[in-house]
Amino acid sequence: TQLLEQSPQFLSIQEGENLTVYCNSSSVFSSLQWYRQEPGEGPVLLVTVVTGGEVKKLKRLTFQFGDARKDSSLHITAAQPGDTGLYLCAGFQGGSEKLVFGKGTKLTVNP
Amino acid sequence: DSGVTQTPKHLITATGQRVTLRCSPRSGDLSVYWYQQSLDQGLQFLIQYYNGEERAKGNILERFSAQQFPDLHSELNLSSLELGDSALYFCASSPTGRGAHEQYFGPGTRLTVT
């Protein structure tokens, strides 16, 4: 059983469209992180959310941490081909130092 | 470029063999983490070292072992290789070993076991 469930698994959209991807769990996380990974490269951290209900914006990307700290979402406005990649959510549970990853959402933005 | 280097980039070997993957962390980072990424399991944490000592263990098989040397580089040893060990292996580093901190990932080593 995957501790962090990401949906959808695959998403293919046209340039200019908006999209939201989700990261859900039945467990509480002390913090959640979102990473973006391109083919042949390692994941790159986009954001860390720590407080329940927290919203963070990074240009056209908006990240939200659920009030109960069990889920998170990533919303992209006016997607561009450069946004193409695998989006991974990851979290630390309680005092654990182990980072748990979801399986990711593979996003393709077509020009 | 994250500043984390991994060698080799690609490795093809046969079942039953042993390989060593190498990782150099970012300058100044004391923690090194190893992950395995496969299509069906996603990115799985294997093991963490902090300043030469093992700090946390994940789903690491007994056939796998790791160490961190005094110069802080780390090696992941995989032995008695099986077809199912074929995966991307990532190393990440961070300045500290505790808390919700950023981990900087290397480019990975793609291991193919035939």
Average pLDDT over residues B88-110: 86
Chain B residues touching residue A90 (CB < 8 angstroms): 43
Among partner residues A42, A102, A103, which is closest to B105 by beta-carbon distance?
Answer: A42
Between B59 and B71, the higher pLDDT residue: B71
Chain B CA closest to residue A102: B42
Neighbours of B28 (CB within 10 A): 9
Instruction: Please give the pLDDT value at position A85.
Output: 96
Which of A31, A99, A101 has its CB closest to that of B42? A101
- Please give the pLDDT value at position B2: 85
Prior bond to B8 cis, omega within 30? yes
The shortest C-alpha distance from A77 to chain B (Å) reads: 25
pLDDT tier, A2 (very low <50, low <70, confident <90, very high otherwise) = low
* Degrees, nearest 5: CA angle A88-B106-B108: 85
**Mean pLDDT, residues B59-82:** 96
Does the pLDDT value for residue B23 go beyond 80? yes
